[in-house]
């Protein structure tokens, strides 16, 4: 299995380059590729900080890549939960990823970040109410 980097995903999502966007579409649509979580974090960061894409749109676009099987990931459930948290919070993506590991895999998270601790507690309360 081959891997893709953030640039392939960005050119595909943004469809903003005459030469590279079609090449990225060819790779994603005709190859079996893995998107490493590290590269996915870079995609989220660049979409938000460089291209000013809103959080909900980022969630929708990256969720579609996974759901349509254009990319595979090692822990897609964790990634999709992180995108969900990201789209509804002001936390950075890495913090929502940590919270998703906690929620999906019951990983204990040690942090001095009060905002992250509060979010984890709220996520725990939400899952207790289900």
Mark whether 119 and 56 lie in a shared domain. no
Share of the chain above pLDDT 70, in %: 97
Mark whether 63 and 118 lie in a shared domain. no
Mean pLDDT of 18-22: 97
C-alpha 122/C-alpha 93 separation (Å) is 17
Angle between helices 55-67 and 76-87 (to 10 degrees): 160
Q: How many structural domains are present in the chain?
A: 2
Mark whether 81 and 42 lie in a shared domain. no
Mark whether 62 and 95 lie in a shared domain. no
Mean pLDDT of 36-60: 97
Mark whether 49 and 110 lie in a shared domain. no
Q: How confident is the model at residue 1 (pLDDT cuts 50, 70, 90)?
A: confident
Q: Write out pLDDT tens, residues 55-82.
A: 999 999 999 999 999 999 999 999 999 9
The residues that bridge with 72 in the sheet, in sequence order, are 34
Mark whether 57 and 99 lie in a shared domain. no
Mark whether 68 and 84 lie in a shared domain. no
Both tokens of 88, joined, read 């509804």
pTM of structure: 0.92
> Domain range spanning residue 118?
75-130
């Amino acid at each position: 299995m081959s891997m893709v980097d953030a640039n392939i995903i960005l050119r595909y999502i943004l469809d903003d380059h005459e030469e590279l966007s079609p090449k990225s579409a060819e790779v994603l649509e005709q190859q079996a590729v893995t998107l490493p979580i590290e590269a996915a974090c870079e995609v989220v960061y660049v979409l938000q900080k460089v291209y000013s894409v809103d959080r909900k749109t980022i969630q929708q676009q990256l969720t579609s890549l996974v759901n349509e099987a254009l990319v595979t990931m090692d822990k897609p459930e964790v990634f999709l939960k992180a995108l969900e948290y990201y789209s509804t919070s002001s936390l950075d993506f890495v913090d929502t990823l940590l919270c998703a590991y906690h929620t999906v895999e019951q990983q204990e998270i040690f942090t001095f970040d009060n905002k992250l601790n509060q979010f984890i507690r709220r996520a725990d309360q939400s899952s207790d109410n289900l």
